[in-house]
Structure 1
Amino acid sequence: MTTPVTTITVTANTDQVTLVNVFTVAPERQMALVEALDEATRQIFTTVPGFISANLHTSLDGTRVINYAQWASEKHYKDALQRADVREHITKAAAGADKWDPTLAQVQSIHHPGRA
């Protein structure tokens, strides 16, 4: 898996969107799903126009994998979903999960310690 320095820039009130996709898995399949998502992101998504970044998270109890991905716009995300290679990746990832819940969202508010 990759471990680069983060390139996430969160900005409110822009066209940028965030995909938060929560996959539910059996604990023994959690890391296999992470590896599949990691590989597909490196091989496919990093070449897709409008893709900004993706971060994979694992729940401590082993039952969830969370994909937090940023896109330049909703249109870029929807255009990506029309690509055969992206659809193939989604099908493979979904097969490794018991269920998944993709949600597309926009940042409305940002907070940091020591800042109002």
Structure 2
Amino acid sequence: MTVLTTTETTIAVTTDADQVTLVNVFTVPPSRQDELLAALDKATVEVFAGVPGFISANLHAALDGTRVINYAQWSSEQAYREALRRPEIRHHIAEAAALTDKWDPTLVRVRSIHHARGAQA
């Protein structure tokens, strides 16, 4: 089990739970990477953080400016699927899609967790 600690909460990422992870890779023109990051960041704070089942999201920016990766934890596949039915979520998805050339959302489960030797989990 890996424990992620923020100033507000403690979240366990584990291989033996119903949790699922959304790994969404967005392809963007380098000139739009920051705009997409800002839109995803805003939606996460204003929309997703209040949705039942949402646990956390991490946004990653490719060094070459051509991709943004959203790694988001959900309590279950059902919670994620229910969130997709919400109008405010669909609105956010449409806004993000308008900034990208393409996106590839993939829902996965954590199967193993590894740390550097000596690192604490």
Q: Same fold (TM over 0.5)?
A: yes
Aligned to 1:64: 67
Aligned to 1:33: 36
Structure 2 segments unaligned to the other structure (5+ residues): 1-5
CA distance in 2, matches of 1:31, 1:22: 15
1:9 to 12, 16, 19: 12
Across the aligned residues of Structure 1 and Structure 2, the Cα RMSD in angstroms comes to 1.5
Where in structure 2 are the equivalents of 1:61-100 lying within 5 Å?
Answer: 61-100=64-103
Aligned to 1:112: 115
> Secondary structure of the equivalent of 1:55?
strand
Instruction: Kindly indicate whether the alpha-carbon contact (under 8 Å) linking 1:13 and 1:106 is maintained by their aligned counterparts in 2.
Output: no
CA distance in 1, matches of 2:43, 2:34: 14
**Alpha-carbon offset, residue 12 of structure 1:** 0.4
Structure 1 segments unaligned to the other structure (5+ residues): none
The code of the aligned residue for 1:77 comes to Y
**Alpha-carbon offset, residue 114 of structure 1:** 2.3
The code of the aligned residue for 1:65 comes to V
**Alpha-carbon offset, residue 88 of structure 1:** 0.3
Instruction: Kindly indicate whether the alpha-carbon contact (under 8 Å) linking 1:7 and 1:53 is maintained by their aligned counterparts in 2.
Output: no
Aligned to 1:44: 47
**Alpha-carbon offset, residue 9 of structure 1:** 2.8
Percent identity (aligned): 64
Instruction: Kindly indicate whether the alpha-carbon contact (under 8 Å) linking 1:17 and 1:74 is maintained by their aligned counterparts in 2.
Output: yes
Q: Which has the higher strand share?
A: 2
CA distance in 2, matches of 1:96, 1:38: 14
The code of the aligned residue for 2:34 comes to M
TM-score normalised by the chain length of structure 2: 0.88
